[in-house]
Structure 1
Amino acid sequence: MDEKKYGLTVKIAVLTLAAMLYTTSMTTPALGEIAKAFPNVSPTVVKQISTIPSLMMIIFSLVPGQLERFISKKSVIYLALILSFMGILPAFFGGMTLILVSRILFGAGHGMLFPYAASMIAYLFEGEERNALMGYKTSVGAVSGIVFQMLGGILAMYSWRYAFLGFLLIIPSCLMIMFMLPEPEKKSNTAEKVVSKGKVSINTYIIAVLNMLLNVLTFSFMTNVSIVMVSGKVGNAAQAGFVLTLFTVGSFIASMMYGRIISKIFKKFTIVLAVGLYGLSFLLLVSVNTYSMFCVAGIIYGLGFGTFNPEIVIKVIKSSPAPAAISTGILFALQGLGQFLSPFVLTAITKMLRISSVKAAWNVSAVCVLGAAIILCLVLAFGKSEKPPFTEAK
């Protein structure tokens, strides 16, 4: 029996899930105004407004795969959206305590929603169409991040509380998902029966752990670019922001090309291309000290991210007979952990190696990431190609 084909409205609804992942960026521009409104609150506590959702993601991205055993996938999504909508509470009342509590609730919903941005594509689409949508998911995320951050900044100009009103966008998104997104059909064949048992293969954990280690290295671009540019007199904060914008542009371009062009040309070496682009960007960053080259490095890093993100998701979904929500939940939980640990791990390594420059973390990342790309290339080129021990449910 042929797989059911879904039209444009379903694709829009699926990609709406990807857009909702970036609502977390709406409150970032308001942090300065919040700090002014609460002068007696430690800056470290204020920063937790941004970091709490990332920490909650590590925990709650593992929840959907378990809840699917008892309720439908769309029901889990509704629960995630309701929790995310709790992020709006500080717009109307309360102080710092309520802000932090609302961020915990928002973070729980955000974490639960994260696996579905990828897994619903895997549940509803197959083959080339699925690959293309995985790329579009990253593109939508890149654009949404810019739009939500700009919206948050504009609202925060009037009042820090207004920045939280951006969560009203969750309501139309929820309606779109309610009326346009179908519940994936349950199949009765043997493959689906195996999948429903949710057995996660060792390959899934290997991919997730390797992705975590890579994020420890690559996330240093996001955390260090502004500090390096300002302290090294390469540019000011606004110019650092432009470099990050160019990263988003590069990510958008690569992810739009991923399904139809990049993955077709490079095939199994697509992951090598992505990691190689990451490594090249770090090599440029440690080798040059001009604003124009930082812009080039930002674009190259974005191209790597836009290629790597859909590729790693597809690989982890194919790595296991478990439901996609479980596999991607493990992937994103460990990814969030890697990003959280990144500054601590790299600081420890640079101290151990006695590297004290402002680019110390990037020196470590450049060597390790380029080395990883070379090793990946050799393994894929000369390793034995083995058929996976399971097949995807059709």
Structure 2
Amino acid sequence: MKKISILWLSFFPLLAGAALSPSLSEISQTFPTVSNLWLKSLITIPSICVVLGQVVQPKLSRKITAKTQVLGGLFLYALGALPYIWPSFPIIILSRILLGIGLSLLVPHTIGLIQANFEGKIQKKLLGYASALNNFGTVVAVIYAGLVSNKDWRLVFLIYLLAIISLVTIYLFLPNDKQEVTSPKQATNEKVPYNVVRIWLKMFLLTVIYFTIPTNLAFYMHDHFQQQGTLIIGILMAITSLFGVISGMIFSYFPGRKNSQVQELILIGLFLISMCLLSFTQTLPLFILGLLFSGWGLGWGLPCFNHQLISTLTHPSSATLGIGQAMIFLGQFVSPFLIAFMSNLSHQDNPFLMSLILLGVLLGIAMLDFSKNQPTMDR
């Protein structure tokens, strides 16, 4: 049960933003004076809280056990349901901040507890399962949101109460052990390797590229395909995430799993196909195919880069993982703003074309890794 309890924590991070994606148009009708950019930021506000939380998280870990942090994080996460009771835009913003603080306590341990408790093939398999659960959370969120948004968008926020179930299982089955962390002096004396920085950048870019989809899908479907029902948006996001679930589940079984260069080229290729289809196709079936490729790429990319980070660690636990997870959430937060900035700069309103440019940057960093001949090896 300890393994299941640890893995189940990965159900919540991506769910936090994905649950609102299908209902943005309904929320915008309730608050017509709120700009689209602010509406999109509702998906990503928790992400910046996670990034800021990593500043204090190492100090917190020296005083509070991992179990206590996770329990507190899950409780705050559940407070994301507040807009169901008080459906005002300021309360929605407040609930997103509280949920984000909860995530900042929770997220470092979704991967950190796997790294601290498991090794070798089991560890890599669990990383794949964690990625699958991440995407499965999205599947559940968008299907639920698509079903209830047409009735009352406030019902969407009730999904955050699922954190109470995980809170109970963690309380019952996770030992109250204190994680070891790198001391401040030790952390100061250690120089961060360039390959670690490149992995962080790749995690950031991967998330920025992927989150172009949930932050723009509802508006893009309405403008280009005259599809505005939340149910169809929810179904599309669910199918996209389902492909991420499948990808994560089979990640550790891929024949080229010991070659991180092969893995990176595959996931970049998947996103290249995806963004080309999303950018240039005029038919809905090909557009949906592009969504599926992106789900597959994310389900592959997260465990790939997480495993690369774990392979660089020299301590039982390290701030390296926390920063890596922060890069994922920073990418979620930055995505709508960066894409909007690039679109205004280029006078191009297609967000997926902007993602193609960022994908080129990601490919450049990957090629730099290859030229340095420093592939991250399996343990």
Mapping of 1:293-372 within 5 angstroms?
293-321=286-314, 324=317, 326-352=319-345, 354=346, 356-359=347-350, 361-370=351-360, 372=362
State the one-letter code of the partner of 2:10.
Answer: A
Instruction: In structure 2, give the amino acid aligned to 1:169.
Output: L
Q: Which residue of 2 aligns with 1:125?
A: 118
The answer as to whether partners of 2:67 and 2:176 remain within 8 angstroms in 1 is: yes
Q: Separation in 2 of the partners of 1:296 and 1:306?
A: 16
Distance, in Å, in 2 between the alignment partners of 1:231 and 1:254 is 30
CA gap 1:120/1:289 in 2 versus in 1, 3 angstroms: same
Residue 373 of structure 1: aligned partner = 363
* RMSD over equivalenced CA pairs, Å: 3.7
- What is aligned with 1:236? 227
After TM superposition, the score normalised by the length of structure 2 is 0.81
CA drift of 1:334 comes to: 2.9
Corresponding residue for residue 208 of structure 1: 200
1:180 aligns with 173
User: In 2, are the aligned partners of 1:65 and 1:323 still within 8 Å (CA)?
Assistant: no
- 1:271 alignment counterpart: 264
1:247-273 alpha-carbon deviations (Å, 9 max, x no partner): 212211211110122553644421222
2:281 is aligned, of 257, 263, 288, to 288
**More deviation in 297-306 or 64-73?**
64-73
> Paired residue for 1:5?
none
Distance 1:39 1:363 in 2: 28
Residue 196 of structure 1 contacts residue 322 of structure 1 at CA under 8 Å; is this kept in 2?
no
1: CA distance, partners of 2:364 / 2:48: 32
Q: Does 1:59 align with 2:52?
A: yes
The question of 1:138 aligning with 2:127 is answered: no
Give the conservation status (yes or no) of the 8 Å contact 2:146–2:235. Answer: no
1:14 maps to 2:3: no
Correspondence for 1:73: 66
Distance in 1, matches of 2:355 and 2:367, equals 18
Q: How far apart, in 2, do the equivalents of 1:242 and 1:39 lie?
A: 25
CA contact (8 A) 1:275 1:370 kept: no
Q: In the alignment, is the contact (CA less than 8 A) between 2:142 and 2:234 conserved in 1?
A: no
Q: Which blocks of at least 5 consecutive residues in structure 1 are unaligned?
A: 1-8
Query: Would the aligned equivalents of 1:123 and 1:184 in 2 still touch at CA under 8 Å?
Result: no
The answer as to whether partners of 1:201 and 1:320 remain within 8 angstroms in 2 is no
Aligned-residue sequence identity (percent) comes to: 25
Q: Within 1, Cα distance between the matches of 2:37 and 2:335?
A: 18
For 1:40 and 1:193, the matched residues in 2 are separated by: 48
Q: CA separation of 1:232/1:39 partners in 2, compared to 1, >3 Å: closer, same or farther?
A: closer
- 1:243 deviates by 3.9
- Of the three residues 245, 249, 254, the one matched with 1:252 is 245
Aligned to 2:108: 115
Identify if the C-alpha distance between structure 1 residues 256 and 262 changes in structure 2 by more than 3 Å, giving closer, same or farther: farther
Code of the aligned partner of 1:305: L
Deviation, structure 1 residue 370: 4.9
Structure 2: runs of 5 or more not aligned: none
2:21·2:214 contact (CA, 8 Å) conserved in 1? Answer: no
> Displacement of 1:345 after TM fit?
3.2
Residues 77-120 of structure 1 deviation map (CA, whole Å, 9 limit, x = unaligned): 12212222322344445754444323321210022212211111
Equivalent residue number for residue 373 of structure 2: 384
Which amino acid letter does the alignment assign opposite residue 384 of structure 1? N
User: How many Å separate the matches in 1 of 2:24 and 2:336?
Assistant: 21
| Residues 66 and 320 (structure 1), Cα distance of their counterparts in 2 relative to 1, 3 Å cut | farther
Counterpart residue type for residue 3 of structure 2: K
CA deviations 1:13-41 (Å, max 9, x no partner) are 11210113245244555656666666787
For 2:209 and 2:145, locate their aligned partners in 1 and report how far apart those are by CA, in whole Å: 29
For the residues of structure 1 that align with 2:73 and 2:299, how far apart are their CA atoms?
26
How far apart in 2 are the matches of 1:36 and 1:225? 17
* Farther off after superposition, 220-229 or 108-117: 220-229
Give the Cα separation in 2 of the matches to 1:107 and 1:78: 14
Larger Cα Rg: Structure 1 or Structure 2? 1
Following superposition, the deviation at residue 309 of structure 1 comes to 0.7
Give the direction of change, closer, same or farther, for the CA distance of 1:272–1:62 in structure 2 (3 Å limit).
Answer: farther
Say whether the 8 Å CA contact 2:84–2:155 is kept in structure 1: yes
CA contact (8 A) 1:62 1:333 kept: no
CA contact (8 A) 2:248 2:303 kept: yes
Question: Counterpart of 2:2 in 1: which secondary structure?
Answer: helix
The worse-fitting range, judged by mean Cα deviation, of 193-202 and 293-302 is 193-202
